[in-house]
Chain A
Amino acid sequence: MEIVILGGILAVVLLIAIVGYFLLQQRRSGTIKAVIAPRQSATRTSDEAEDGSGTDRGAT
Chain B
Amino acid sequence: MTKVRLADIAKALGITAVTVSNALNNRYGVSEELRLQITRKAEEMGYHRVRPSKREILEKLRLGVIVPGYYLNEPNAFYWSFYQALSREASNKGITIGMEQLDSNTLRNMVMPKLVNDRNCDLLVLLGPPGVRYLDMVTRATRVPTVCLDVSSPDPKIPTVMSANYYGMAEMCEYLIESGHRKIGYLGTVGSTASVTDRYLGYCRALRSHDIPLNKEWVIDDRKIQNGKVIIELPETLPTAIACNSDRSALVLIELLRQRGIEVPGGISVVSYDGHLPGAENVDLTTMVVNVEEMVSLTIQTLIRLYEGRALELTRFVVAGQRHDGSTVRILAQK
Mutual binders A and B: no
- Chain B residues in contact with chain A, CB under 8 A? none
- Chain A residues in contact with chain B, CB under 8 A? none
